[in-house]
């Protein structure tokens, strides 16, 4: 029987512009690792938090990874416990799904230590308990892609359906993370509780157009519908220079550009041949607003969380 397992979970772009709280995709090359060790005491504790850790709570109930494993532990009334070592690869408060990735990696590792491992949908629910600790609300658009991989749509919360959406070949996601912090709670707190009927029509049309464009490899449809008329306009002022960054990305050939999750990372989808130019344009635009940044070019259909060491 295994007693010590490490799992990796990738970063994610939540919302993907037009699918607030229901659509997200994985990002290559950035992610969190969690090592989980089986211990005799029937409890969950965090031993270390390393990497780009910042000031994360080590108390399990207040930590996304700890809370997620506590939920799994409580649901199965296990006679043993888990000790976690969390290695953060995803910058904090960056809009790249760091809290979700820690929760997902933790439940995937803990699951590998169970005599009868659970299915992914069950793990999704436990990881969501961790996400609630971080953002104060239940949403799956980081958790589900981080766990399942690729571009993922979720329908429902208590008994979610998870649907992988195909991505046309030759597309890349450009991500630019300006060096500033933006909390998910803060970025959710400013959102209005209602929408106008015309915005509702535009947004549903755009989401439907975007998804149908993905299924039919219709890049024009994706470009025309890659437009969040509800959330982005309310959040753009939280990110200095956002409008310029987006304008520059689009001029350099992007199919669409928006805020990754709650921000401040800005992402753009583009055909592979324009990806470098899009990245350069976005980085330069942030620089002109006095913000240094990190940037990545990622494929969109990637693997989800997995055990990397057992």
198-229 burial, b at 16+ Cβ within 10 Å, e below that, comes to eeeebbeebbebbbebbeeeebebbbbbbbbb
262: contact with ligand HSE by CB under 6 A: yes
Min separation Cβ 5 and ligand HSE, Å: 26
DSSP label of 100: H
Question: What are the backbone dihedrals phi and psi of residue 50, each rounded to the nearest 5 degrees, phi first?
Answer: -125, -170
Nearest distance from C-beta of residue 187 to ligand HSE, angstroms: 6
Residue 270, token pair as written in the block: 């583009």
How many residues bind ligand HSE (CB under 6 A)? The answer is: 13
Among 188, 217, 218, 230, interactor with ligand HSE by CB under 6 A: 188
Closest CA to 12 of 139, 109, 118: 139
| CB nearer to ligand HSE: pick between 73 and 177 | 177
- Of the two residues 142 and 206, which places its CB atom closer to ligand HSE in the complex? 142
- By CB under 6 A, is residue 142 in contact with ligand HSE? yes
Q: Which is closer to ligand HSE, CB of 114 or CB of 238? A: 238
Q: In this complex, which beta carbon is closest to ligand HSE, that of residue 147 or of residue 187?
A: 187
Residues numbered 5 to 44 that lie near ligand HSE (CB under 6 A) are: 14-15, 20-21
Smallest gap from Cβ 265 to ligand HSE, in A, equals 11
Burial of residue 301 (CB within 10 Å: 0-12, 13-18, 19+) is: middle
Concatenated DSSP letters for 17-83?
Answer: TT-TTTEEEEEEEEEEEEEEEEESSSSEEEEEEEES--S---SGGGSHHHHHHHHHHHHTT-SSEEE
Any contact of residue 177 with ligand HSE (CB under 6 A)? no
Which of 64, 184, 206, 302 binds ligand HSE (CB under 6 A)? It is 184
- Residue 206 parent element (H or E): helix 197-215
What residues line the site for ligand HSE (CB under 6 A)? 14-15, 20-21, 135, 139, 141-142, 184, 187-188, 261-262
């Amino acid at each position: 029987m295994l007693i010590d397992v490490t799992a990796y979970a990738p970063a994610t772009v939540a919302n993907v512009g037009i699918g607030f709280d229901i659509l997200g995709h994985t990002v290559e090359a950035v992610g969190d690792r969690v090592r989980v060790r089986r211990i005799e005491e029937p409890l969950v504790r965090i031993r270390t938090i390393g990497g780009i850790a910042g000031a994360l709570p080590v108390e399990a109930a207040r930590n996304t990874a700890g809370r997620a494993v506590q939920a799994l532990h409580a649901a199965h009334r296990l006679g043993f416990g888990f000790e976690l070592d969390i290695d953060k690869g995803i910058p904090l408060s960056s809009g790249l799904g760091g809290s979700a990735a820690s929760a997902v990696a933790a439940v995937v590792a803990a699951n590998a230590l169970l005599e009868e491992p659970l299915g992914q949908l069950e793990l999704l629910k436990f990881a969501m308990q961790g996400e609630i600790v971080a953002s104060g609300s239940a949403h799956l658009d980081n958790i589900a892609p981080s766990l399942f991989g690729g571009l993922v749509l979720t329908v429902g919360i208590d008994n979610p359906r998870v649907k992988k959406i195909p991505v046309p070949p030759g597309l890349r996601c450009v991500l630019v993370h300006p060096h500033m912090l933006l909390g998910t709670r803060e970025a959710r707190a400013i959102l209005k509780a209602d929408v106008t009927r015309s915005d509702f029509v535009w947004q549903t049309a755009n989401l439907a157009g975007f998804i149908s464009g993905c299924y039919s490899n219709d890049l024009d449809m994706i470009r025309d519908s890659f437009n969040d008329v509800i959330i982005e306009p309310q959040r753009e002022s939280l990110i200095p220079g956002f409008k310029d960054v987006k304008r520059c990305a689009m001029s350099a050939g992007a199919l669409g550009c928006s805020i990754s999750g709650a921000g401040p990372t800005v992402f753009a989808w583009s055909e592979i041949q324009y990806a470098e130019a899009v990245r350069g344009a976005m980085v330069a635009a942030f620089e002109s607003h006095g913000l240094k940044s990190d940037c990545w070019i990622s494929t969109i259909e990637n693997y989800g969380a997995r055990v990397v060491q057992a």
